[in-house]
A and B are shown apart, each in its own frame.
Chain A
Amino acid sequence: MVKHLLAFPDLCTGCNRCAYVCSAVKEGLFIPLRARVHVQNFPLHGYSVPCICFQCPKPECLEACPEKAIYKNDEEIVLVDKEKCNGCGECVPACPYGMIDLGPDNLAYKCDYCGGEPACVQECAPGAIVFIEPEREQKKIKALQMKHRVASGTPEEKRRARAEVFLKEARPARAASA
């Protein structure tokens, strides 16, 4: 069985250690904006949403790429071949979750599960991001999370909009002013 990254917003404290470590591992400095995992914080409502790449079964980023630079490996991880990527950016608006972007080198970047030992999971003290072979219940949770898709906006705007949907579900009374 294959391991998946799973996010549990109810457990997320908003600490951002996942984004800090991811950016350090991938970019060589602490720059959470360029992490491959993000946290949306709603401090007024005491709620946070970790945004992870779902390594989609039918990845829109893969399908949008005219250079066939995005592919799936044997562990079902969706990867960018930097040699083939020409920086056209078609994958960016294609992702309904805002989880792929172009870097300062003008190449696409996304979560690659750190080759099998995701650094974000190691840093997550409350266990809001885990890396496991999912049971049926957990597969359902992931499927439900994947249902919230956003058609337009920058990756940052898409992540925010999605997180606001989760917020409304978790904090119905107060979420009117997110």
Chain B
Amino acid sequence: MNLYAGQVLRVDLSKGELSKEPLREEWLKDYWGCWGLAVKYFCELVPPTTAPFSPANALVIMTGPLAGTLAPTSSRFCLVSKSAHTGTIFESNMGGAFGPELKFAGYDGIIITGRADSLVYIRIKDGEVGLEEASAMTGQGIFETEALLKEALSPEAKVLAIGPAGENMITFACVGSEAYRQMGRGGAGAIFGSKNLKGIVCRGTGGVRVADLEAFRRKEAHWTQTSLLTEDNLWAKSDGTSILVDVTNEMGLHPTRNFSLGVNEDHAALGPEAVRQAKLADRACASCPLGCGKFTHINGAEVEGPEYETLSLTGSNCQMNQLEQVIRFNRLCDDLGLDTISTGNIVALAMDLTESGRHDFNLRFGQPEDYLAVVTEIATLSTARGKDLALGTKKLAEKYDAQDLSTEIKGSEFPAYDPRGDYGMGLAYATSERGACHLRAFTIFTSDHFNIEALAQDVVNGQNLNAIKWSMCFCDFWGTVNTVIMADLLTAGLGRPVAPEELNRAGERIWNLARLYNLKAGFTAADDRLPRKIMEQKLGNGPNEGRVFRKEDFERMLQIYYRLRGWDAKGAPTKGKLAELGLQPL
């Protein structure tokens, strides 16, 4: 088969059985791969009211058609499941090297159901697959687990692993790979933990075929030169994501002191210059010429990163203006297996509760000792404070009557762009299928941050484009990729003409299918909302000082968005829209 491996690995952890089944080729023209295909498999397999920690929940891991080829940034792949953190369907994607390795082993994806009786890992060596005992790795961090799994199979093998946070089913626990790469958001690690799955190790010695190699190479080189390696995207190579520290401070929407301020006066301590000073090396995911990863080292603390979200949410948002401490916090999260976006929000909330006298967690803005200690306490549930913070922002705020201070939507903690400084981000967070997320639509590079009509359209367009983009899968940082480029590469890869219009429609279809699932899971328009803080508390400083995102403005924007999407006033796709996209109600 061209591009695709043509095979999926099925793992039933309850029965301890593995089997190989042919890829559902009839779904490819409508869902393509990675996110789209994973959503389709998931919707067919898991009823929307399934409890996330039930054995009936599935983990659908899926690569895209371009994984394992020279198409730049194509090594990204995803996991789709039902989140225990939000109760929604969610997708979580990752770079690194596992995706191509799985393809080379002969599988487009892995579908995992059930629950093992004791801790296990999945072992894949090309056609030889099996479940192995993992009890000796109980409680091990991700770094050590990866080392042990590679030792067991091959130094060239690639690993997905959880740490103690996932084993303890902390709902925002992540899955790690290649040390510093994660499926960060939505709590994939917790689902692994609920299934007693410590990890997956894979070695693949096969390859990926394309229909017309000469044309594929020519087109790939052309798009890499004329689209990827251009000024719009080269920030990733020169600075990495830390550049956004400067950008968002300038815009005045940089999360500071638990989202009470929009500018961190000390942001230079966490910005691109500070990262450059600490940098030892540039790092790249498989297939990527950009190499956005910055491997940093200060006083014995090192990490690949910190990325923008971590610098702002565990840095500025906690008023921790010391890069060394952020590196330490980041490394702890990566090893123990906690999402830094969620953890940064939660720690900042706890600092706010402490300093406002509402509940003393002994966590203070800018105080490093407890800031670092609490990460382990959360992951291992070793203290009362750790157990509280392990609840996540939504439940923590409910417990301590702090919903005026918390920043989450559908339970997912806020990424690092304050909606009071860009209404598009507010709508993007509120309408993301997995709760507050910046990887569905991203509007901050707009000319008018408060034009409700224009931004509503931008959010629709962004979500549709990203839905097909993450189905190829390409990286967010190829900011200028579009469906013309995708269609061109797929045409040479598959040996059949692919039109951009098919991909555009597929993006919209994938988005609508995820929406149908959430509606059946019990979500309504009322859940597409903003937190009180954003609607009522004025931003405390900077270019957006005094701003809120008023409820009336948001509601108006939401209705415009629903209309643009062809959804009714309750946020449900109309019959006409479903027919147009070839979707059946679930």
Contact = CB atoms under 8 A, between A and B. Distances in A.
A30 B70 contact: yes
Interface string B59-82: 000000000111010000000000
Interface in A67-109: none
A15 B289 contact: yes
Nearest to A39: B286
B178 interface: yes
A67 B181 CA distance: 48
Interface stretch (A18-26, A57-65, A110-118): A18-26
B104 A20 contact: no
Interface stretch (B290-298, B370-378, B421-429, B522-530): B290-298
B243 to A, nearest CB: 18
B291 A28 contact: no
A24 B217 contact: yes
Contacts of A28: 213
A33 B157 CA distance: 12
B183 interface: no
A148 interface: no
Interface in B209-250: 209-210, 213, 217, 229, 237
Interface in B277-333: 280-291, 293, 295, 300, 302, 304
A48 B291 CA distance: 13
A14 B293 CA distance: 11
B379 to A, nearest CB: 19
Interface in B420-438: none
A21 B207 contact: no
A82 B290 CA distance: 38
Contacts of B147: 44, 177
A13 interface: yes
Nearest to A10: B281
Contacts of A13: 281-284, 288, 291, 293
A156 interface: yes
Interface in B121-145: 143
Given A23-B207, A27-B207, A31-B206, A47 B281 contact: yes
Contacts of B290: 125
A160 interface: yes
A43 B206 contact: no
B304 A156 contact: no
B209 A17 contact: no
Interface string B130-168: 000000000000010011000000011000000000000
Interface of B: 68-70, 72, 96-97, 104, 143, 146-147, 155-156, 178-181, 205-210, 213, 217, 229, 237, 280-291, 293, 295, 300, 302, 304
Interface of A: 10, 13-17, 20-21, 23-24, 27-34, 41, 43-44, 46-47, 123, 125-126, 156, 160, 173-174, 177
Q: Which 7 A-B pairs have the closest CB atoms?
A: A31-B207, A46-B295, A125-B289, A13-B284, A15-B284, A13-B291, A43-B178
Given A27-B207, A44-B146, 19 more contacts: A13-B282, A13-B284, A14-B286, A15-B286, A15-B288, A17-B289, A21-B217, A29-B207, A29-B208, A30-B207, A31-B104, A31-B206, A33-B205, A34-B207, A43-B283, A44-B179, A46-B293, A174-B302, A177-B147
